[in-house]
Amino acid sequence: MTKGVDVDLENVWIRFGDFVAVREANVNIKGGEFFSFLGPSGCGKTTILRSVSGFLEPSDGKVRIGGKDMAGIGPNKRPTALIFQNLALFPLMKVWENITFSMEVKGASKAERRKRADELLDMIALPDQGDKLPSELSGGQKQRVAIARALCAEPDVLLLDEPLSALDLKLRQHMRTELREIQQRVGITFIYITHDQGEALTMSDNVAVMRAGIIDQIGTGHSVYNDPATPFVASFVGENNVFRGKIKSIDGDMALVSTNRTGELLARIATSAQGKMNVGDSAMMFIRPEACNIAEDISPAANRFTARVKHEEFEGQIYNVFLEGAEGKEIKMSLVNVGKQRQSAEDNNLTLEYMPDQAVVLPAGELASE
Amino acid sequence: MNIAQLFRDYFVKNGIGLGTFLLVAVLFWVVILIILPQLSMLDFSFRHHLPPPEMGGPKDTYTIEHYKYLVLGAPGADTSYNVVDLGVFGRTLLAAFFVTILDLILCYPLAYYLGQSKGGGFIRLLVLLLIIPYWINEILRAFAFRIIFGDSGLINEVMLTMGLISDPIDFIRANVALYAGLGYAYILLMIFPIYNVIESLDRNQIEAARDMGASWWRIHWRVVIPYAKPGISSGCTMVFMLSAGALAAPQILGGPSSLWFTQIIYQWFNTGGNWPRGAAFAVVLLVACIVIVLGMMRLFKVKIGDIGK
Amino acid sequence: MRTNSLLPRLLIGAYLVVFFGYLLGPLIVMSITAFNSPSFPKMTPWECLTFEWFDVLARDERILTGIENSLIVGVGTVILSVIMGLSGALMLTQIWPKLRATYYTIVIAPILIPGVVLGISTLVFWDRISIMLGMSTGGILHNGIFLTILGQSTFIASYCMLVFIARLQRFDTGLTEAALDLGATPVQAFRKILLPFMKPAIGSAAVLAFLASFENYNTTTFTFGKFPTLTIELAQKVRYGINPSISALAFIIIVLTIIGALIHEIYRRRQQLALANGAPVAAVSGGFQLPKIFRGNPAAIILVLLALGGASTIWFSQSYSPGVCKMDVREQKRLIQEERIKEIRAKRQLELQQKQLKSPDSSGDIKSDAPVTQSPGKGAFGNVFDPGNLDKAAPKSETEKPAESPGKGAFGDVFAPKNLDKATPKDD
């Protein structure tokens, strides 16, 4: 298999008339990396993918694949293969013809194609299914055929446009593992588009989080989750409780935020905001539900707050406790189920505590809409 | 986006060879077959009637004599207007309108019945039976009506035998055969647009209306007809245009005293031998039809895109 | 439909009967006249079952040339219309959005423009071009076939385009992109992805175009020049005198149409069956299982019955000779005639006897009557008495009746395979 090559976006702008779909994107994707673009629908992530695959020319900036400028090179001449959201399997061709279409257009003989198809069918664990039509396959099987078809073209870069979105939950989770395995086996660069943060975090080496045409943050799944660069990233990637307030004091990389309803709370300033925040700035503080715990000591402190419990949910491995927050919002706390029946605290006040370095302060900004 | 960019994108998308081929085919159709012949006919209709050698010569100037003829008649005629031709023109449009209404009344119930039935073999058979007559030659269909309505045709013979009448009724002269034949010729073009639209109407809407106590005519008036409007106007437009422009049925079924406007055009081109005049009359027919269709579309608030669906 | 009570059901039934009576009645009547012996097509009175009109038809040079011209024009029109219609439909998806509505209006307009106008404009335009180029009147631009193909294609391409647009709306443009992405050139993507997808639509558009071309009259009547198509010939026959050979032709066309429709229906049904079973079409059509096809498939059964009926008809026509019947009818008519004449004679004689009393010189009346009524050598004796038929039967051209020319079987070669092919373009 070919070794993956770098994909670089340099200051890429993509405009449709007056509408700016992608604004000043600068991304460096290393060869052999599993890279995801994560964002809500309409954020421009598919547009970026189409500019890499060659269906779109950027209005400004450069797309380089393997260091080579791709301007003016059509999709059929680029070393990329795209797996479409709806898979786009050719309905009138048999499975093996689908898989080896890239060889057919280059004029490979039928025997050659047949042989290669059988290899790939073995690889995707669908031996002897080559003579079926795509319509006779199940969703997961189609998925694998689409992957095999793309791999058959021996691309340097594989582009995947939300390929799992049509599958049901179980299959989706299974395919995540499988995709990751395939990527490691073939060793080429994967660029993956998704709005599902679970997919992005489980599979990717690096994730770019996008909002309305802007890339907010690029980093490993870990850093995106634990050290978000913007309130949008903090609220879009995973669940988060938001506390609005003003910076009361700063001490090194820790800040004290005074909030209306829950008093003064201590938290770590996010890496991207360190040295940029001043006392009196309006800020947002984020605490993950799983970072909260029931306080043993209920005396006021900068890592504790008290609120009334609205309702509780039992979800199996965890209990979710919803407390009354500011502006009608709820504060969510997740407690691990340790096997004991929990005493319900509904309608009572409850004091929560958290580790201050697990909470993040950012300058106030736009949140992801629910 | 500018034009150059547009062309570049187009050729990138389709490739040079295929892109050129498509472009040439479409341009040939649109320019050579559709637009230029119509313009040429328009131009021709303003020319004098000249023998071929004089065409393009000094006498080949523009004139409105043919249009004048249609309105005022031949110079020195008795009447101040061309009563004959104008009368035929008006009667053609009126009869076409009448045929359209006839077809609409006849077709709407069946379209509704077919559209709202849940399918099944019987309905499929009916649809098949509907299509078969349409595949039979227009001339033969008209001919069939002649067999039925002729002096010694089926109806007259049967009625004579049964003693209902003592002399054969001249259906041809009374234009009964013509209207029946015209209505018959284009009945499918009325039924299928309406059928297609009604088929997509959610049955639940009708159930809901019935549930709320609406009478059957109110259901049609308030629910079905508004929904089927694009189909109805599309069907009416087609039937009207085709009836007004029909030539075969009037030639075969028309009575000796009633001409169709297309027959007059035909005569100027054949026995009359005055092509520019025929062209002028054709232009008048074309313009009248366009005006009427646009008017109908405006009236029913239907777009051109709905035609032919 | 929720029709619980009896009355609405009855009303619907009556309406359906009236509607389909109107729709199919004329065709049935016309078909029957093809087998009746009077030389003017009529159903009543029924005289003799005859197949001679098929024979007459098969020997009609003008009809045969007409069919030939129609086929040439049809093939040309199909090719041109399908290419232009497909291009037009593909262009619609790509054209500059601001131009799209105008473009659509222009290419759909030929459907709404009266056929005579299209014919006239085509004729006039190419005549002008030919004059401009200084070509003789015998040149290609005045060739009837050339003009007819162009004139018909102008609007038939619009019909084809509608078929293609409907199909294109269900095309996933992602498939073309996928092909490009996998390294196909635009032409390869077109040929290997879009074209196979459009194939069924191309098939139905071609059939539609051929049928439209075959039966077109309004446009062709201005453009045909020296190459009258079948429809033109039919129109001239129908206008200037007819015999039931036209009915015979109509009957053949009707039968072929029904067969074509049934085959289409069976094919569709089989596809649906395959789809329902989740099996590929090839699997169902490959294994030819007779019972399965017939199960709940009235179309197939009708087709088989039709085939059996057709075969037995042909056999019957070979062995049956209407001559005896005709003689009978002629004899019968003669008897009736004689009876009437006798009556008249008797009456006249009575009158004569009465008259003789007054004026003795009127016996010549009787003799002048007799030769007229007894003169016909042909079978269509009764018609002479029918006042309406006199003028219609008279102009019947003599060329249509060389029925006595020998060589072929009693039935002519209407049913011979090669003629079937000619007349059934919709089947291939």
Chain A residues touching residue C185 (CB < 8 angstroms) = 76, 105
Beta-carbon separation of C182 and A136 below 8 A: no
Question: Is C391 in the same domain as C291?
Answer: no
Question: Is A61 in the same domain as A197?
Answer: yes
Question: Is A250 in the same domain as A125?
Answer: no
How far is residue A29 from each of residues A26, A32, A208, measured CA to CA in Å? 10, 9, 10
In a domain, C428, yes or no: no
- pLDDT top residue among C190 and C314: C190
Residues C338-379 have pLDDT tens digits of: 777 777 777 777 777 776 666 545 444 444 443 433 333 333
Q: Suggest the residue from C98, C181, C192, C277 to mutate for an interface test with chain A (most A CBs closer than 10 A).
A: C181
* A104 close contact with C: CB closer than 8 A: yes
Question: Is C231 in the same domain as C299?
Answer: yes
Max CA separation in chain C (angstroms): 113
Radius of gyration in angstroms for the set of CA atoms belonging to chain A, rounded to a whole number: 24
- Return the top range by mean pLDDT from A40-49, B229-238, C123-132, C256-265: A40-49
Question: Is C212 in the same domain as C294?
Answer: yes
Parallel, antiparallel or unpaired: strands A282-287 and A292-294: unpaired
Euclidean distance between CA atoms C235 and B141, whole angstroms: 11
pLDDT band for C154, please (50, 70, 90 cuts).
Answer: very high
Stretch 266-285 of chain C: residues touching chain A, C-beta under 8 Å: 278, 280
Number of domains in chain B: 1
Among chain C residues, the shortest Cα distance to B180 is held by: C22
In a domain, A117, yes or no: yes
The pLDDT value recorded for residue C153 is 93
Chain C residues touching residue B245 (CB < 8 angstroms) = 113-117, 218
Complete DSSP assignment for A106-131: TT--HHHHHHHHHHHHHHTT-TT-TT
Question: Is A300 in the same domain as A191?
Answer: no
In a domain, B224, yes or no: yes
* C371 close contact with A: CB closer than 8 A: no
Q: How many CB atoms lie within 10 A of CB C46?
A: 13
Number of domains in chain A: 2
Euclidean distance between CA atoms B253 and B248, whole angstroms: 8
In sequence order, the β-bridge partners of residue A336 are A318
Nearest by CB to C83, which of B25, B148, B246?
A: B25
Give percent of chain C above pLDDT 70: 64
pLDDT band for C290, please (50, 70, 90 cuts).
Answer: very low
Cβ atoms of B188 and B131 within 8 Å: the answer is yes
Q: With 0-12 CB in 10 A as exposed, 13-18 as middle and 19+ as buried, what is C68?
A: middle
Question: Is A28 in the same domain as A87?
Answer: yes
In a domain, A198, yes or no: yes
Nearest to B285 by CA among B149, B116, B89: B89
Chain C residues touching residue B308 (CB < 8 angstroms) = 108, 111, 158, 162
The pLDDT value recorded for residue B76 is 63
Q: Which residues of B187-219 are buried (b: 16+ CB within 10 A; e: fewer)?
A: bbbbbbbbbbbbbebeeeebeebeeeebeeeeb
Q: With 0-12 CB in 10 A as exposed, 13-18 as middle and 19+ as buried, what is C49?
A: middle
Question: Is A247 in the same domain as A213?
Answer: no
Beta-carbon separation of C43 and B286 below 8 A: no
Cβ atoms of A350 and A309 within 8 Å: the answer is yes
Q: Consecutive sets of 10 residues in chain B, 309 residues long: mean pLDDT of each?
A: 73 79 91 88 79 64 73 65 76 86 87 77 79 79 79 72 72 76 83 83 76 76 80 85 83 75 82 80 85 80 60
Cβ atoms of A55 and A70 within 8 Å: the answer is no
pLDDT beyond 60 at C77: yes
Q: How many CB atoms lie within 10 A of CB A28?
A: 14
pLDDT band for C400, please (50, 70, 90 cuts).
Answer: very low
Residues B90-104 have pLDDT tens digits of: 888 888 888 888 888
Beta-carbon separation of A75 and C188 below 8 A: no
Among A197, A226, A255, the domain boundary falls at: A226
pLDDT beyond 50 at C401: no
User: Where residue C154 sits, what CATH number does that domain have?
Assistant: 1.10.3720.10
Question: Is A147 in the same domain as A244?
Answer: no
pLDDT beyond 90 at C85: yes
In a domain, A1, yes or no: no
In a domain, B42, yes or no: no
Cβ partners under 8 Å of residue A13, min gap 6? A20, A22, A23, A24, A25, A58, A59, A60, A61
Cβ atoms of A276 and A235 within 8 Å: the answer is no
Nearest to C60 by CA among C416, C400, C404, C403: C400
Residue C348's domain comprises 331-400
The pLDDT value recorded for residue A254 is 87
Tokens at A19, concatenated = 């509408």
Residue C176 distance to chain A (closest CA, Å): 9
Euclidean distance between CA atoms C360 and C378, whole angstroms: 37
The pLDDT value recorded for residue C378 is 38
In sequence order, the β-bridge partners of residue A89 are none
In a domain, B215, yes or no: yes
Tokens at C19, concatenated = 């509607």
Euclidean distance between CA atoms B26 and B9, whole angstroms: 18
Residue type, C180: L
Euclidean distance between CA atoms B136 and C126, whole angstroms: 31
Sheet of A60-65: strand order equals: A19-29, A7-16, A60-65, A68-69
Tokens at C92, concatenated = 């619609």
Give the residue-averaged pLDDT of C308-325: 65
User: Where residue A131 sits, what CATH number does that domain have?
Assistant: 3.40.50.300
Q: Which residues of C259-288 are buried (b: 16+ CB within 10 A; e: fewer)?
A: bbbbebbbeebbeebbeeeeebeeebeeee
Neighbours of chain C (3+ CB pairs under 8 A): A, B
Cβ pairs B/C, distance under 8 A: 280
The pLDDT value recorded for residue A13 is 92
Question: Is C152 in the same domain as C190?
Answer: yes
Euclidean distance between CA atoms B291 and B278, whole angstroms: 20
Tokens at C31, concatenated = 């078909």
pLDDT band for C291, please (50, 70, 90 cuts).
Answer: very low
pLDDT beyond 60 at C425: no
- pLDDT top residue among A358 and C34: A358
- The upper half-sphere exposure of residue A253, i.e. CA atoms within 13 Å in the direction of its Cβ, equals 13
Nearest by CB to C19, which of B18, B106, B238?
A: B106
The pLDDT value recorded for residue B77 is 60
Q: Which of B258-262, C171-175, C254-258, C418-422 has the lowest mean pLDDT?
A: C418-422
In a domain, B274, yes or no: yes
The pLDDT value recorded for residue B75 is 63
Radius of gyration in angstroms for the set of CA atoms belonging to chain B, rounded to a whole number: 25
In a domain, C325, yes or no: no
The dihedral built from the CA positions of residue C17, C18, C23 and C26, taken in this order, carries a sign that is: positive
pLDDT beyond 70 at C316: no
User: Where residue A264 sits, what CATH number does that domain have?
Assistant: 2.40.50.140
Residue B209's domain comprises 73-306
Complete DSSP assignment for B163-214: TS-SS---TTTTTHHHHHHHHHHTHHHHHHHHHHHHHTS-HHHHHHHHHTT-
Cβ atoms of A140 and A174 within 8 Å: the answer is yes
The pLDDT value recorded for residue A210 is 92
Please identify every stretch of chain A with a pLDDT value under 70, giving residue numbers as ranges.
Answer: 1-3, 370
pLDDT band for C288, please (50, 70, 90 cuts).
Answer: very low
Rounded to 5 degrees, what are φ and ψ at A142?
A: -60, -45
Residue A354 distance to chain C (closest CA, Å): 49
Question: Is A191 in the same domain as A243?
Answer: no
What kind and span of H or E run contains C333? helix C323-356
The pLDDT value recorded for residue C253 is 83
Tokens at A366, concatenated = 């736009």
The pLDDT value recorded for residue A192 is 92
The pLDDT value recorded for residue B250 is 83
Cβ partners under 8 Å of residue B272, min gap 6? B278
Question: Is A170 in the same domain as A275?
Answer: no
The dihedral built from the CA positions of residue C28, C29, C35 and C39, taken in this order, carries a sign that is: negative
Complete DSSP assignment for A291-348: GEEE-S--S--TTEEEEEEEEEEE-SSEEEEEEE-GGG-EEEEEEE--SSPPPP-TTS
Among A169, A197, A226, the domain boundary falls at: A226
Residues B116-125 have pLDDT tens digits of: 776 677 777 7
How far is residue B303 from each of residues B191, C105, C207, measured CA to CA in Å? 19, 10, 29
In a domain, C77, yes or no: yes
Among A226, A245, A272, the domain boundary falls at: A226
Number of domains in chain C: 3
Question: Is C26 in the same domain as C73?
Answer: no
Question: Is C17 in the same domain as C61?
Answer: no
Question: Is C65 in the same domain as C40?
Answer: no
Nearest to C118 by CA among B88, B33, B249: B33
Question: Is C157 in the same domain as C222?
Answer: yes
Question: Is A53 in the same domain as A90?
Answer: yes
Among chain B residues, the shortest Cα distance to C100 is held by: B305
- pLDDT top residue among C418 and C190: C190
ipTM of the complex, rounded to two decimals:
0.83
Q: At what angle do helices B3-14 and C61-94 cross, to 10 degrees?
A: 120
Among chain A residues, the shortest Cα distance to C283 is held by: A132
The pLDDT value recorded for residue C71 is 92
DSSP label at A8? E
Parallel, antiparallel or unpaired: strands A34-38 and A206-211: parallel
Question: Is A173 in the same domain as A301?
Answer: no
Residue A290's domain comprises 231-363
Question: Is C233 in the same domain as C357?
Answer: no
